[in-house]
Homo-oligomer: A and B are copies of this chain.
């Protein structure tokens, strides 16, 4: 198998390959998501999503559409589909349904997260919470959870249990994050516990179910779960990094949101560990001014926090890479590998 790109800078694909990948991963418009080898399957997921958010109450469809057609990267369904294809899975309708369920769960949590964070902006535009208000957005989140249940509930007990466990972890991660909100006592181990539950669990479950539905051996199913888990952690770390050093236009939202909301991101925790007083003060402040946030971001951007965070992300990408070595070579395995590289190098 070819060496992992992160470790072998010589074999690193040219910028153009990545920009091509990035372009392909760009926000979805309408019902197309052209990511190379699972483009067709992702289109079926899009069709499922469109069908599932139809409701007798237009508000539910409108709020769901606002987010679902609002530029999601569809990385979770993509990982699910790739894991399935990598082991020669053929029962397409099944995997498409479960990939749909996973994206619906993700979208439901985004709606509820925006309420929890009081977020004004999501994916470059007004958040549903801001646009449609708390009440309707809360109900629309429930609606999407229910639609996910409709898809996932038709599978066997194993899949139902895995999916439910992932969802339970999402809620537990949210509570844990709330506990460490603006809390300078937060440690690295708390961060990884939050990320494991709140972000990585859904990636893990998608990858595991993908392998399981393809008929892969139990050991490989577990390995793919490991891939998803570590990819999810790497993904979240880069999200945190971009909230410090990213560009508003590419991100679709202003930077500094974690400081503003008091969410314990990795760069913040690392900066706290370095004894960065201004960062600590801004993090603990219940309504930090824009000026304070800008100053804290500047400090974090220059501090070792960002480099350390990127290094940690790379470490998790490498851990995700390991299980891929036992996957038979194919276009799909290569995609799973490239996805890791793309995720840690992305700027949006």
Q: Footprint of B on A, CB under 8 Å?
A: 55-57, 59-60, 108-109, 112, 115-116, 134-136, 138-143, 145-147, 149-150, 152-154, 157, 160-161, 163-164, 167-168, 170-172, 174-176, 178-179
Contact = CB atoms under 8 A, between A and B. Distances in A.
A106 to B, nearest CB: 13
B115 A175 contact: no
B135 A60 contact: no
Contacts of A178: 59, 135-136, 139
B57 A172 contact: yes
A167 B139 contact: no
B150 A160 contact: yes
Nearest to A117: B135
Contacts of A146: 145, 164, 167-168, 171
Given A55-B172, A153-B152, A112 B136 contact: no
Nearest to A157: B154
Given A112-B138, A112-B142, 10 more contacts: A57-B172, A59-B179, A60-B171, A109-B142, A135-B178, A139-B175, A140-B171, A141-B142, A150-B160, A153-B157
A112 B139 CA distance: 8
Given A142-B145, A172-B57, A176-B57, A135 B116 contact: yes
Given A59-B175, A60-B172, A150-B161, A138 B115 contact: yes
Q: DSSP majority for the A interface?
A: helix
A115 to B, nearest CB: 6
A71 B134 CA distance: 28
Contact of A149 (B149, B157, B176): B149
A171 B55 CA distance: 10
A139 B117 CA distance: 12
A27 B238 CA distance: 50
Contact of A153 (B145, B160, B171): B160
A167 B146 CA distance: 7
Contacts of A175: 57, 59-60, 136, 139
Tell which of A55, A138, A167, A179 has the most Cβ of chain B within 10 Å: A138
B174 A139 contact: yes
Contact of A164 (B153, B157, B163): B153
A171 to B, nearest CB: 4
